[in-house]
Amino acid sequence: MTDEITRRDFLRRAVVGGAAAIGIGELVAVRADMADAASSPTIAVASKRRPAELVRASVEALGGIGKFVKKGNRVVIKPNIGWARKAEQAATTNPEIVAEIVRLCKQAGARDIRVVDHAVDRPDALVLRMSGIEAAARKAGAQVSLASSPALYEKVSLPKGRALKSVSVIRDLRRADVFINVPIAKVHNTTGLTLGIKNMLGAVWDRGAFHRSSSLDQAIVDCAAEVRPHLVILDAIRILLTNGPKGPGRTADKGIVVAGTDQVAVDAYAATLFDRKAEQIGHLQRAHAAGLGEIDLRRVNVRHV
Amino acid sequence: MSKRLRLLRRVSQALFSAGFLVLFAVAAYPLLSPVPVDLFLRADPLLALSTMISLRQLVFPALWYALTVVVLTILLGRVFCGWICPMGTAIDACERLFGIRGRRPSAAPRLSSLKFYILLAILITAALPSAHRKAAEPSISGSVGLSAVYLLDPVALLTRTLTLTGLPAAHWAIGMGGDVLNGWNGSDAVQDHPWIAVLLSPLQMAYGLVGRPEGAYFRLSAITFLVFAGIIALSRYARRFWCRNLCPLGALLGWLGRLSPIRLRVSEECTRCMRCVNECKVGAISDDPHHYSGPECIECYSCIAVCPENAISLARGHRGEEREDDLRLGRRRVLAAMGAGVAAVALPKVGLGVRRTDAGGQVLKLSSMRLIRPPGALAEDEFVTACVRCGECMKVCMTNTLQPAVGEGGLEALGTPIIVPRVGPCTQPCDLCGRVCPTRAIQPFSIEEKDYLYVGTASLDRSTCIAWAQDKECLICDEACSYDAISQDVVDGVSRPVVHEPICTGCGICEWVCPVEPRGAIRVNSSGDKRHLTRNEQRAIRELADEGTLEQGSPYPGL
């Protein structure tokens, strides 16, 4: 072989280089688009329907599932399957919601749909069964598993982290094309409320590190800055008002599903269901300050459906 | 015809062993088996007899199952040993697998009486009063004996071996396989070349079917395995060394089998070729093939199968000159065995393990800060004597928290189940251990009853708790508590966890989730153990606690 550039080589490089240039251009355009969207985020609030229809209506209001899930995508859904509690106790995400999201993704042509979480309660088999999510999501066509081995996690460094410098996140979630966060709205003894951003704590291996860090709220935000969902669908059909996050406690039937791509905005709206202001919730305040999303609902385009 | 009985016996051994393994495997959540998973343990007459003697009461439903084996033995002799016993089959299988043939019959050690002395010692230990039952006055009926049967009962020993060593080994193998597979699937090579993932997909599917077990780990697993391996190794001296010389269950069944109206008959065709003598698994046939020992014969019928003259057959009738039913026990040795039984009671009594303290009506062992029993367990003295250390509860436990006690309850409690919260919590919506105990040492309980089946109390060490000592935002113990027994104290603007002792049942989930490594800043100890009270009394305490009548730190009513 010589170092000379042959004609064929030249042509190949020209084509590849050109394509790359166009690709970068596209990317810049997309980024700009996203930035534009972030300046005035839209969230959809669906109410007065059965659970599955709440999901459909809210996602439809955001432009339909096709906007998020493309044919052949690998989708990971992260509900809250943290506790060995029954769905009606409102400590875990409503199984009908999870199942409906799975069905939507399937219709959009997703190749592989996984439902994952990292339960606090033991053992996994019991948590999966009691929550009802395993049966419902599996029937809808997803693989359901709880990640209870460090081998299933991947280390993610948090270069901008102030309380944490790295975190181990469920590998499936990192490798997914589309990541959908499906929290349930609950009060939380330490963080005030647990909504979408706090739900990410269930995707990490060493939760203790968050509590041992200089600030739990900041650690949650550090992690959320790096592990960002493409879509948040928050379950507020029945919310837990006392003794959260595990209960048993008082619940309230709100009959609402909130969807959006701006996680802080979704959480800020959900906070109002508890008659709380998002600014009072430490980790939401910090998330907004870190530029993760809009906390002021006056600047959020709330679409009621 | 002559070989058909042997074939039938082998089929029987295979079926019963398979049944034993299947029942062991299905002793797991969600525990749907229509057959009791502890069937073999219930049907073991020695476990039932010894436990009923030491506990001074009938043990149901084990008694009914055990009686069927008793009746079977009275009718047919020691068929349990030859046809059913999974331990006997395991020994047969290992002898075949490892090519162990034993020594020639004339060179084999003659210790067959030993098992009768062992049986006697075990029963003496069970009969002697070892501890008083609750606050009862000292008397035989107000006492309990001590369990020694667990050491050498074959069914308990084998179940324990499977639980403590077989289960972790299986989990380790499956887990390793899964990790390797996950590693491959997650590797960059597979990400870049998806066709490799396609090649791996059959393996992935197979792994998906098995599922990833939450790997079990047990203490005492090595020593348990060594005991079992030792039993197999002894076959080098004589085949089924265990069955012929050591097994106390074999001794009991041999003694009962003397009533059997079936015997072997040797016709005049016999040429004294000695094949039957060499083939006999348990050395029951004497040097003269016309005589054999009834209590030793395990009815395996190998002798019938190998006799070239077809001279051996089964015959009805209790008496025959071929069968000798004498146990051949020596008076001096019987006395020695009784002495050993007494010593077995005395030995644990000289250790610190049983030094007691009496706190508000409940008796706690001084060595036992960490003696946290499963919910539903009998009061300590009764529990220790009723538990046969089979390990079923540890097998069925979903969180692996049930571990064999080593020093927590003293020598007398060796191998009994305790909750070790740092391994796993006693998870709230679970009642499995109460459903598999063959002797009801763990009484069945419902999930609702767990609200007041107090087995211990959590105590918080404020010097290491990161919320108290370092002002960290951590209330994981409060989050995880299933009974709402942990609340928050806001001190200097920081929320800090506080245990509400009258509500805490000692399930240990707080200790399990505590992020303070390695021990946890919140730990369960046995101080709240209320197993000496009836369930109604315990429920009354819980109701008082709910009303707020029981204040923090106040002594519990001396119910």
Residue of chain B with shortest Cα separation from A194: B479
- How far apart are the two ends of chain B, measured CA to CA in Å? 68
Q: What is the mean pLDDT of residues B52-56?
A: 94
In this structure, the answer to whether residues B409 and B526 fall within a common structural domain is yes
In this structure, the answer to whether residues B407 and B537 fall within a common structural domain is yes
Confidence of residue B554 (pLDDT cuts 50, 70, 90): very low
Tell me the residue range of the domain where B420 lies: 356-547
B166 part of a folded domain: no
Please report residues of B whose CB lies closer than 8 A to that of A148: 212, 214
3-state secondary structure of B419: strand
- Identity of the residue in A123, A154, A246 whose CB atom sits nearest the CB atom of B427: A123
3-state secondary structure of A159: coil
In this structure, the answer to whether residues B445 and B498 fall within a common structural domain is yes
pLDDT digit string, tens, across residues B385-415: 999 999 999 999 999 999 999 988 888 899 9
Share of chain B above pLDDT 90, in %: 70
**Contact flag B515-A212 (C-beta cutoff 8 Å):** yes
Q: Above 60 in pLDDT, residue B361?
A: no
What letter represents residue A59's amino acid?
A: V
CA distance B78 to B66: 14
CA distance B50 to B96: 33
Please report residues of B whose CB lies closer than 8 A to that of A80: none
Higher pLDDT, B209 or B70: B70
- Split into its structural domains, chain B has a count of 2
Please report residues of A whose CB lies closer than 8 A to that of B427: 84, 121-123, 126
pLDDT of residue B367: 61
Average pLDDT, chain B: 90
**Contact flag A216-B474 (C-beta cutoff 8 Å):** yes
CA distance A223 to A215: 12
In this structure, the answer to whether residues B459 and B511 fall within a common structural domain is yes
Please report residues of B whose CB lies closer than 8 A to that of A84: 427-429, 482
Is residue A125 within 8 angstroms of chain B, CB to CB? yes
Q: Where are the beta strands (DSSP E) in A42-165?
A: 42-47, 74-79, 112-117, 143-146, 153-157
CA distance A135 to A142: 10
Share of chain A above pLDDT 90, in %: 83
| Interface residues from chain B to A (CB-CB < 8 Å) | 29-30, 175, 178-179, 182-183, 186, 191, 212, 214, 398-399, 424-425, 427-430, 466, 472-476, 478-482, 484, 488, 495, 509, 512-513, 515, 517
B260 part of a folded domain: yes
pLDDT of residue A23: 56
B558 part of a folded domain: no
pLDDT of residue B364: 63
Q: Above 80 in pLDDT, residue A284?
A: yes
pLDDT of residue B165: 96
In this structure, the answer to whether residues B500 and B451 fall within a common structural domain is yes
- Identity of the residue in B30, B475, B482 whose CB atom sits nearest the CB atom of A189: B475
pLDDT digit string, tens, across residues B316-340: 887 667 888 888 899 999 999 999 9
Chain A nearest-CA distance from B289, in A, is: 59
Q: What is the mean pLDDT of residues B152-171?
A: 96
Residue of chain B with shortest Cα separation from A174: B186
Is residue A111 within 8 angstroms of chain B, CB to CB? no
In this structure, the answer to whether residues B361 and B320 fall within a common structural domain is no
Please report residues of A whose CB lies closer than 8 A to that of B29: 123, 125-126
Please report residues of A whose CB lies closer than 8 A to that of B474: 190, 211-212, 216
B336 part of a folded domain: no
B interface mutation test: which of A121, A152, A156, A206 has the most B CBs within 10 A? Answer: A121
pLDDT of residue A112: 94
Q: Above 80 in pLDDT, residue A91?
A: yes
pLDDT of residue B178: 83
In this structure, the answer to whether residues B318 and B360 fall within a common structural domain is no
Q: Above 80 in pLDDT, residue A14?
A: no
B371 part of a folded domain: yes
pLDDT of residue B183: 82
Q: What is the mean pLDDT of residues B193-222?
A: 85
**Contact flag B484-A248 (C-beta cutoff 8 Å):** yes
What letter represents residue B119's amino acid?
A: L
Supply the ipTM of this predicted assembly.
Answer: 0.81
In this structure, the answer to whether residues B385 and B477 fall within a common structural domain is yes
What is the CATH architecture of A41-304?
3-Layer(aba) Sandwich (3.40)
In this structure, the answer to whether residues B444 and B523 fall within a common structural domain is yes
Share of chain A above pLDDT 70, in %: 87
Measuring CA to CA, how many Å separate B82 from each of B78, B300, B536?
7, 5, 47
pLDDT digit string, tens, across residues B211-246: 767 789 999 999 999 999 999 999 999 999 999 999
